[in-house]
Amino acid sequence: MSEKQSIKQKAYELLETGFEGSLANKLLSGFIVLLILSNVIAVVIESYGPIGQKYQKEFYYFNVVSVAIFTLEYFARIWVCTQSPALDESKPIRSRLKYLVSPVAIIDLLAIAPFYLSFIFPIDLRYLRMLRMLRLLKLTHYFRGLNLFIDVLKKELPTIGAAVFIMAVLVILSGSIMYGVEHSAQPKVFDSIPSAIWWSVVTMTTVGYGDVTPITFLGKFIAMFIMLLGVGVVALPAAMLAAKFGEELSLRKRQLERKVESAVKDGGVSKSDRVYLNNLAAELNISQDVVNKLIKSFDVEQAVTSHCPHCKKPINSDSPTNE
């Protein structure tokens, strides 16, 4: 490996290992996470008029420094992305283009793009602050559970989309029915189908603001069924996600377990095996702590099965058995 490649590999590990690496990795990750959270807090505090006006210059300079750091991080990740096991190092241009359109790279770009675009296009300060809140999404780099959630969401998108479509149909139908039933009794409250849909959404999600309520007997009777129906329908996408999240995590752990078991049975986990297992764990969004525990568990199991349970001597598979 050339000196340049060695530096790039170290930079990749520094940026991508996160809190599971060396002290330097943990310090860098902690600094970036702290900077992200500080940006969000600054946006919230800045929106309060008296403080925002008094410390306007300080908030601006803090934002400039933050954008500079996030920009350096963004281009550094583009440079080192070819070291990822998921990308082809022999084709750096294609690999970088593939990385640029990945969700994590798009999130990093969205975190800094509004600042630079504000110099070209006039952007309302309120919208600019709102866009700065997108920096929270950068936390997906440092918390693997978020990446796992995004992966599950992508896989279950058709199913969840179908559930959301059914929910939307029920909301529109129930709103239309309530408009027909309540409009004559409350022409100002249920003045249109969109107004009735507002009531339907508030009711089906069990929020119940109470600003719009049916007063006719038929309206109340229909509302009872809509409330009962809403409890199950609205909770359906969340229940599907929770079930799939657990299933996906179990599948990934089993896949990693098979690889660890295979490495241990082949004579122990070598240095190259360890690198492969760590890379696989990174792809599966599983922490290295889990890898360490699995290796230790299979090492103990291998030691137990390769020794006689009575005399504790090593069992030689080639030795003849007593008839």
* Nearest CA-CA partner of 44 in 119, 142, 136, 116: 136
80, two tokens: 């080192």
In CATH terms, the fold of domain 3-142 is: Four Helix Bundle (Hemerythrin (Met), subunit A) (1.20.120)
- Residue 49, Cβ neighbours under 10 Å: how many? 8
Domain ranges across the chain: 3-142, 144-323
**Contact present, 66 and 39 (Cβ < 8 Å):** yes
Give the helix/strand (H/E) hosting 257.
helix 217-265
**CATH hierarchy code of domain 144-323:** 1.10.287.70
Name the residue with higher pLDDT: 60 or 287: 60
Would the pTM of this model clear 0.95, i.e. be above it? Answer: no
Q: What is the mean pLDDT of residues 273-287?
A: 71
pLDDT bin (cut points 50, 70, 90) of residue 241 is confident
Q: How far apart are CA 298 and CA 258, in angstroms?
A: 10
pLDDT bin (cut points 50, 70, 90) of residue 4 is low
As a whole number, the mean pLDDT across the chain is 81
